[in-house]
Amino acid sequence: MTSRFISPAPTRRTVVKAAAATAVVAPALLGAAAPALADTGAPAFLHGVASGDPLPDGVLLWTRVTPTPEAVPGSGLGPDVQVGWELAEDRGFTRVVASGTTTASAASDHTVKADVRGLRPATAYWFRFTAGSVVSPAARTRTAPAADSAAPGVRFGVVSCANWEAGHFSAYRHLAARADLDAVLHLGDYIYEYATGAYPEAKYVVRQHEPRHEILSLADYRTRHGKYKTDPDLQAMHAAHPIVAIWDDHEFANDAWSGGAENHTPGTEGDWAARVAAAKQAYFEWMPVRTSTEGTVFRRLRFGKLADLHLLDLRSFRSAQAKTGSGTVDDPERSITGRAQLDWLKAGLAGSDATWQLVGTSVMISPVAFGSLPAYLLEPLAGLLGLPKEGLAVNVDQWDGYTDDRRELLAHLTERAIRNTVFLTGDIHMAWANDVPVKAATYPLSASAATEFVVTSVTSDNLDDLLHVAPGTLSVVAAGAVKAANRHVKWVDMDHHGYGVLDVTAARSQMDYYTVSDKTDPAATTSWARSYRTLSGTQRVERVYQPVL
């Protein structure tokens, strides 16, 4: 790749104005440009443009070019094509500060990335790509605050669990329309691996994904990623904000661990290691995430002295899930993080001088125990939370199944007096606000080591979907039982789909929870549901009666 950097002008552009312009313009550009280009037979940018992993001096740019009509994702077809990129201070690209060229080839499924450095911190930029005479839609990105700066605040959109067949990605559209986000944090299950009609059942499928069979090969994973990237709401979100993403299990297969998965049968579906290698290759090709030499996504991003963001990979190194109810959940030889990653996390938490320690964890760390629930509620809850239908008190796919890792991490937080740790979580298709107790059995008399905000799914089925009833019809009973048995759980919403907005200042971290009106409606509206915050130094969550304005 060749590139050039042009020293930017000393004046700083107004970030909010740039973001507002993007929110209005980018969706229209993406929606209008792709069909016109596809009809010409010339190279086309059919899968949008994106950016990610913002640094104080840089950002990663991404796109996929279709050089010829037959060069569809996963095909392995199509010639090499030179792709240019440029990054500017203005949407009109009259003040270009960096540019370069790279090659899109079938070897990378015609995806390209440009890791641009030398930029100014806390600054909005516009970027675009070219292939021959064809120009991609323009998109906006933003760098992080300077590492040693006293940033007054940082704000993230927070999402997880977007199942194509279960609905439309309206949550992404509403995040794209916001002019106040520094980045979007995606906590996993960006894609799903199932065959069409497997999840949800065929009669409840809103739209079919590609390929129709369960994805197993590199071509399959590439095709599925490519299908997702045609969604206009997903394209709009990527065009409006940089993304910070980690994977969970469905980027591979349901309930994945280091040696297999619940949804993988070696005898008929091949070698697990080969499937994982294919899934990871496609993920790093199709996502604006910096490729790690270790083939993992655990990494750390800094947002001034305000916050360090520690991002975890809880699939690549974990032990196999224990049987629910067995004592092996407490076995110190079993791990959800792997030794190296847990040591890396502990060192990063202890060594940070940031006010807030934000930990992106794809599965919930707070313990969850269930009392007696009616069978008609317990069965669908078990399906969501990985519990047996008999209703024992541990979810073995989450940190509840690896209690020694959790004990060690929470002890580290308390012994080192590490304050203001907030776990940010997805996975279970519900919204939660939790304290993270050192000893759940004696909470609230015992200490809380941290807090946790869990966001619901973008589309993936939750309680009312599994029961096929109106939201709130039955879940109020289940939610009440969960809170009664788990006093550290301050709120749980089992019904809705949507997203969160996390607003961080020196004084507090606040999660505003938003829901969409109907995941099956491509024009779904959004509304604020609730807000919870943790004040600096408290390690407790409390309800707030209005969102951050």
- pLDDT score, position 384: 73
How does pLDDT run across 330-383, given as a tens digit for each residue?
889 999 999 999 999 999 999 999 999 999 999 999 998 765 555 556 557 656
- pLDDT score, position 291: 84
Domain boundaries along the sequence of the chain: 2-142, 154-544
Name the DSSP letter for residue 519: T
| 298 three-class SS | coil
Mean pLDDT of the chain: 90
For the chain, the C-alpha Rg in angstroms (whole number) is: 22
- pLDDT score, position 214: 98
- Looking at the domain that runs over 154-544, which CATH code has it been given? 3.60.21.70
Task: Please give the residue that has the higher pLDDT: either 473 or 171.
Answer: 171
One fold for 2-142 and 154-544: no
Phi then psi for residue 45, to 5 deg, are -105, 80
Could you give the C-alpha distances from 478 to 90, 193, 391, 494, in angstroms and in order?
51, 29, 12, 8
Distance CA 202, CA 205 (A): 5
Kindly state the average pLDDT of the residues 422-429.
97
pLDDT at 307 over 80: yes
- One of 2.60.40.380, 2.102.10.10, 3.40.50.1010, 2.40.50.100 is the CATH number of 2-142, namely 2.60.40.380
- pLDDT score, position 546: 96
Residues 140, 18 contacting (CB under 8 angstroms)? yes
Residue for token digits 């190279």? 43
Kindly state the average pLDDT of the residues 244-272.
97
Residues 432, 496 contacting (CB under 8 angstroms)? no
Phi then psi for residue 351, to 5 deg, are -90, -5
Residue 6 — left, alpha, or beta (φ > 0 → left; ψ -120 to 50 → alpha)? Answer: beta
Residues 297, 304 contacting (CB under 8 angstroms)? no
Q: pTM of this prediction?
A: 0.91
Residue for token digits 């939610």? 479
Write out 331-383 in H/E/C secondary structure: CCCCCCCCHHHHHHHHHHHHHCCCCEEEEEECCCCCCCCCCCCCHHHHHHHHH
How does pLDDT run across 53-105, given as a tens digit for each residue?
999 999 999 999 999 999 999 999 999 999 999 999 999 999 999 999 999 99
pLDDT at 447 over 50: yes
pLDDT at 9 over 50: no
In the numeric block, which tokens belong to residue 211?
């390929």
pLDDT at 165 over 80: yes
- pLDDT score, position 414: 97
Distance CA 129, CA 518 (A): 35
Kindly state the average pLDDT of the residues 109-128.
98
Q: Tell me the CA end-to-end span of the chain in Å, nearest whole number.
A: 42
In the numeric block, which tokens belong to residue 38?
């596809």
Distance CA 446, CA 484 (A): 17
Write out 25-92 in H/E/C secondary structure: HHHHHHHHHHHHHHHHCCCECCCCEEEEEEECCEEEEEEECECCCCCCCCCCCCCCEEEEEEEECCCC
Distance CA 373, CA 131 (A): 59
Kindly state the average pLDDT of the residues 142-159.
97
Write out 248-293 in H/E/C secondary structure: CCCCCCCCEECCEECCCCHHHHCCHHHHHHHHHHHHHHHCCCCCCC
Confidence grade of residue 32 (pLDDT, cut at 50, 70, 90): very low
Which residue, among 77, 76, 118, has the nearest Cα to 96 in the 3D structure?
A: 118
Distance CA 446, CA 441 (A): 9
Residue 72 — left, alpha, or beta (φ > 0 → left; ψ -120 to 50 → alpha)? Answer: beta
Kindly state the average pLDDT of the residues 434-448.
91
Residues 412, 350 contacting (CB under 8 angstroms)? yes
Q: Which residue type, as a one-letter code, is found at position 112?
A: V
- pLDDT score, position 393: 47
Q: Which runs of E-coded beta strand occur in 417-467?
A: 421-425, 431-437, 448-454
How does pLDDT run across 224-241, given as a tens digit for each residue?
999 999 999 999 999 999
- pLDDT score, position 15: 27
pLDDT at 262 over 60: yes
* Other beta carbons within 10 Å of 300: 12
How does pLDDT run across 501-544, given as a tens digit for each residue?
999 999 999 999 999 999 999 999 999 999 999 999 999 999 99
Which residue, among 267, 287, 288, 285, has the nearest Cα to 277 in the 3D structure?
A: 285
Confidence grade of residue 477 (pLDDT, cut at 50, 70, 90): confident
Phi then psi for residue 423, to 5 deg, are -90, 135
